Amino acid sequence: MAALIALVVATPLAVAIALYITHYAPRRLAAGMGYVIDLLAAIPSVVYGFWGIASLAPALVPFYAWAADHLGFIPLFAGPASVTGRTMLTAGLVLAVMILPIISAISREVFTQAPALHREAALALGATRWEMIKMAVLPYGKSGIIGGAMLGLGRALGETLAIAIVLSASGGITFNLISNSNPSTIAANIALQFPESTGLAVNTLIASGLALFLITLAVNMLARWVVNRRADFSGAN
Amino acid sequence: MSTQMHSAPASTPLPSGRAPLRSQRQLPRFAAAGIFAAGIVVGAGLSALTGFSIALTVIYGVVLGTLAVYVVSRLVEGGRKATDRLVTSLVGTAFAIAMIPLVWLVWTVLSRGLRRLDGAFFNSSMQGIIGDGGGAYHAIMGTLIVTGITAVISVPIGLLTAIYLVEYGRGRLAKAITFFVDVMTGIPSIVAGLFAYALFVLFFGPGVRLGIMGAVALAVLMIPVVVRSCEEVLKLVSNELREASYALGVPKWRTILKVVLPTSIAGLGTGITLAIARVIGETAPLLITVGITNATNLDPFDGRMATLPVYAYYQLTQPGVPPEFAIDRAWTAALILIMLVMALNVVARLITRLFAPKTGR
């Protein structure tokens, strides 16, 4: 659930970043920013968790109150709003920030690989920059974006500590994004309960780990398949 | 491009597509930025009406500015150019939105972590510490030891696998290995931790926590990364070099040792350093396998060890009373972690630069 939110938020932003760096930003700035984004991809997840609970969650509290008042008719935003901000939506946003550098790094790679001849041909025919991107770059990079998003989803699904720190989890299953009671995620559940559990409880947790493993394995295989299919069709090599 | 400065006459907007070439109008170069700024000013005014706040100003301003640019451009330049400008500002806005949390994060960690960045933090462990003081000596040493063992395990395995894949591997086996290495790079870290735990429980009985377990778990995570990056680098070595070596009658193993590896040493070093940077911040597997302790334990085969990420996690989530000292320690630990990762990244860059092969190309 949090992974889905993260994906929905992060993918368009990441693609926009990649486009900006490859096609809009001034050349010298672009190299530096690409480097910064790569650095951010390497920041440990526990730090993201810290930031989520210390900065993002309090900052979102007024927004939750507002959403509960005005958007309460949508089941996703039904009140009562959380006063700590440790909600599913916050967790999703933290994850989004986390997978943003990954997706944008992959998309950037694909965009720079788009054949220069196609781009120049489009520009020579009088296309504006956006038309050039739409006609030459995006079709070429589409499966790369999808693959990158899937890898991001894989990382978000398996992400443990950012969730364990940010989310105040309770047992029930709800689809309410902004209240205090949230369903936990598999990985966070393992991390929170493992140090204290013994005997059969350990087996339960390992079994849930197996389920998580299978899910991410499936997502990753799908992503690889999508990315590899592009290599067959592109004819660039 | 847009050196001809039309003064944007308010002629009748021509239907896009059918417009004859001569009537292509262009906005002066800085008009877009000017209109955007005007939009922001109006946005500030609007938010001042409803009680001033910076966030609202920015939101109103960006929305209004984008709309204004679009409309003006549509009137003057026609639909296609207008769409281009719209997308340009959308992409720029999205980039700005995405940069906000990233900058915010770095700033938060810096400002809160610097409070406890002193000598005591590096010199003392948490043994017998309640409240103020204390440090992360034990955790820093633990992280270095565990990561070192991980590197010792996974660098040879990963490097040799990569060499096999590039130089020897043919057919189904190589394809299967490549595919599973690819898939394993995305494995959730906590699953690797569970694997190492389950493995060691077979030998040592339940409830075991060892430093070496953590190293094994991290190695599971690190090997695919090493294989992946080394494979890419080895593939870049041009075949002509290999063929020249074969032509001189050099056996294959010697070719690999004396030609392929020296040529690609820079890339290999970079890849391995980045892989280490990636596992050094992993928390979840260490939480499960290594646990946490307050005393300094430098023996990875004997009992629990402290590691920096787990230390930070526990200091934040179970601070004790009074909480603020532990939370300060947690932030400082996070800061050190980031600095370690950044340092490794810089080292990787340096390796690339210093050891780059001197080819005649």
Q: What is the CATH number of the domain that holds A201?
A: 1.10.3720.10
Is B95's Cβ below 8 Å from some Cβ in A?
A: yes
The reported pLDDT for the residue numbered A133 is: 79
The reported pLDDT for the residue numbered A157 is: 74
pLDDT at A4 > cutoff 80: no
Give contacts of B338 with chain A, Cβ < 8 Å: 43-44, 47
Judged by average pLDDT, the poorest of A131-135, B22-26, B127-131, B332-336 is: B22-26
Name which of B80, B90, B98 is nearest A100 (Cβ-Cβ).
B98
Q: Which amino acid is at B319?
A: P
Categorize the per-residue pLDDT at B359 as very low, low, confident or very high, splitting at 50, 70 and 90. Answer: low
Judged by average pLDDT, the poorest of A77-91, B153-167, B193-207 is: A77-91
Across the interface, do A158 and B80 touch by the CB < 8 Å criterion? no
For residues A24-43, average pLDDT: 72
Q: Give A107-128 pLDDT, tens digit per residue.
A: 777 777 777 787 788 888 877 7
Is B291's Cβ below 8 Å from some Cβ in A?
A: yes
Give contacts of B337 with chain A, Cβ < 8 Å: 44, 46-47
Give contacts of A47 with chain B, Cβ < 8 Å: 105, 109, 281, 312, 334, 337-338
The reported pLDDT for the residue numbered B275 is: 85
Categorize the per-residue pLDDT at B57 as very low, low, confident or very high, splitting at 50, 70 and 90. Answer: low
The reported pLDDT for the residue numbered A85 is: 57
Is A237's Cβ below 8 Å from some Cβ in B?
A: no
The reported pLDDT for the residue numbered B129 is: 63
Is B316's Cβ below 8 Å from some Cβ in A?
A: yes
- Cα dist from B173 to A59, A208, B154, whole Å: 52, 31, 21
Percent of chain B whose predicted confidence (pLDDT) is above 70: 77
Name which of B91, B101, B316 is nearest A165 (Cβ-Cβ).
B316
Q: Give A127-148 pLDDT, tens digit per residue.
A: 777 777 777 777 777 777 777 7
Q: Which residue of B has its CA nearest to A100?
A: B98
Query: At how many degrees (to 10) do helices B189-204 and A186-193 cross?
Result: 40
DSSP run (H or E) holding B239: helix B239-247
Give contacts of B197 with chain A, Cβ < 8 Å: 206
Residues 74-93 of B with CB under 8 A from A: 80-81, 83-84, 87-88, 90-92
Is B67's Cβ below 8 Å from some Cβ in A?
A: no
The reported pLDDT for the residue numbered B19 is: 45
Across the interface, do A130 and B191 touch by the CB < 8 Å criterion? no
Residue A221 CA to residue A224 CA, distance in Å, equals 5
For residues A65-74, average pLDDT: 60
DSSP run (H or E) holding B221: helix B211-236
Any domain includes A32: yes
For residues B153-170, average pLDDT: 89
Q: Which amino acid is at A176?
A: N
Interface test with A, best of B2, B26, B190, B218 (most A CBs within 10 A): B190
For residues A93-111, average pLDDT: 78
Nearest to A33 by CA among B102, B138, B34: B102
Termini Cα distance of chain A: 39
- Containing domain of residue A113, as a range? 2-49+100-163+183-234
Residue A108 CA to residue B75 CA, distance in Å, equals 34
Any domain includes A90: no
Is B176's Cβ below 8 Å from some Cβ in A?
A: no
Query: At how many degrees (to 10) do helices A186-193 and A200-234 cross?
Result: 150
Is A91's Cβ below 8 Å from some Cβ in B?
A: no
pLDDT at B27 > cutoff 70: no
Interface test with A, best of B95, B178, B289, B328 (most A CBs within 10 A): B95
Categorize the per-residue pLDDT at B247 as very low, low, confident or very high, splitting at 50, 70 and 90. Answer: very high
Could you count the other beta carbons within 10 Å of the beta carbon of residue A17?
30
Any domain includes A172: no
- B62: distance to nearest CA of chain A, Å? 16
Is B323's Cβ below 8 Å from some Cβ in A?
A: no
Residues 217-236 of A with CB under 8 A from B: 217, 219-221, 223-224
Q: Give B277-316 pLDDT, tens digit per residue.
A: 888 877 778 877 777 777 777 777 777 777 888 888 887 7
pLDDT at B186 > cutoff 60: yes
pLDDT at B85 > cutoff 80: no
Please give the CATH topology (third level) of the domain spanning B123-354: MetI-like fold (1.10.3720)
Where are the domains positioned within chain B? 21-114, 123-354
Give contacts of A151 with chain B, Cβ < 8 Å: 186
Query: At how many degrees (to 10) do helices B211-236 and B137-163 cross?
Result: 40
pLDDT at B189 > cutoff 90: no
Nearest to B7 by CA among B42, B38, B36, B31: B31
Across the interface, do B284 and A44 touch by the CB < 8 Å criterion? no
Residue B339 CA to residue B143 CA, distance in Å, equals 14
Tokens of residue A59, six digits: 């900052």
The reported pLDDT for the residue numbered A52 is: 76
Is A132's Cβ below 8 Å from some Cβ in B?
A: no
Any domain includes A70: no
Q: Which amino acid is at A164?
A: A
Interface test with B, best of A9, A35, A40, A43 (most B CBs within 10 A): A43
The reported pLDDT for the residue numbered A141 is: 76
Across the interface, do B198 and A206 touch by the CB < 8 Å criterion? yes
Residue A119 CA to residue B95 CA, distance in Å, equals 22
Nearest to A55 by CA among B108, B9, B356: B108
Q: Give B199-237 pLDDT, tens digit per residue.
A: 888 887 776 777 888 888 889 888 988 898 888 888 888
Categorize the per-residue pLDDT at B47 as very low, low, confident or very high, splitting at 50, 70 and 90. Answer: low
The reported pLDDT for the residue numbered B157 is: 92
The reported pLDDT for the residue numbered B20 is: 47
For residues B138-144, average pLDDT: 84
The reported pLDDT for the residue numbered B7 is: 42
Tokens of residue B352, six digits: 């690339």
**DSSP per residue, A194-223:** GGG--THHHHHHHHHHHHHHHHHHHHHHHH
Instruction: Give this complex's ipTM.
Output: 0.70
For residues A74-93, average pLDDT: 61
Judged by average pLDDT, the poorest of B11-20, B34-43, B183-192 is: B11-20
- B88: distance to nearest CA of chain A, Å? 8
Nearest to B126 by CA among B348, B334, B305: B305
Residue B81 near residue B70, CB atoms below 8 Å: no
Tokens of residue A40, six digits: 């951010």
Any domain includes A178: no
Residue B28 near residue B7, CB atoms below 8 Å: yes
- The mean of the pLDDT values for chain B is 76
Across the interface, do A42 and B278 touch by the CB < 8 Å criterion? yes
Residue A113 near residue A236, CB atoms below 8 Å: yes
Categorize the per-residue pLDDT at B196 as very low, low, confident or very high, splitting at 50, 70 and 90. Answer: confident
Is A142's Cβ below 8 Å from some Cβ in B?
A: no
Question: Based on C-alpha coordinates, what's the Rg of chain B?
Answer: 29
Domain tally, chain A: 1
CB contacts < 8 A, A to B, total 178
Cis peptide bond N-terminal to B251, omega within 30: no
Query: At how many degrees (to 10) do helices A200-234 and A138-158 cross?
Result: 170
- A62: distance to nearest CA of chain B, Å? 12
